[in-house]
Structure 1
């Protein structure tokens, strides 16, 4: 092995030794640190369940309307009507949560 090969081998070894090795079981702890505590709290009252369902329906409507806008102009209004009908159906189901 000449000096250039030794130098390359040594530098490669040094670079590899600098790579941090993290155990696979550390990932869930990191994910828990990222999520706010309110995301893991269960809805316990009918009002909380309704509010969560309302937020989810509104977010879904917003996302789907954005998708409608990417369709050809001729199809956008029909798409938006369908999205709105789905939203109304989801809100109807959400309102039922208040009486439980």
Structure 2
């Protein structure tokens, strides 16, 4: 008799936990909204350049972090590629935000 009750209890336990996970996932925390600065437009070339610089720097940091999982020559090549991408992106940022006369 005990052997037949275990699958029943196990299935009830799984169903209850699945329901609890669904309820928790559906809740939305509306206390934390995006800061106002995230929706402000960069109106000057300098402000656009600073935003691009932040994005490029963060992308470079993420790429370096990804390279840390690698070893040996692969890691070195990864870091070189990340640096080349960063330099290329910064050059594009300079070109896009330069004052044209």
The separation in 1 between residues aligned to 2:55 and 2:39, in whole angstroms, is 16
> Which structure 1 residue ranges, 4+ long, deviate > 6 Å from structure 2?
none
Which is greater in Rg? 1
| Number of residue pairs matched by the alignment | 75
User: Which of structures 1 and 2 has the larger relative contact order (alpha carbons within 8 angstroms, sep 6+)?
Assistant: 1
TM-score normalised by the chain length of structure 1: 0.65
**Residue in 2 that maps onto 1:99:** 99
**Residue in 2 that maps onto 1:86:** 85
**Residue in 1 that maps onto 2:61:** 62
The separation in 2 between residues aligned to 1:45 and 1:76, in whole angstroms, is 38
Gaps of 5+ in 2: 1-22
Alpha carbon RMSD of aligned pairs, Å?
2.5
Gaps of 5+ in 1: 1-18
In the TM superposition, residue 59 of structure 1 has moved relative to its aligned partner by 0.4
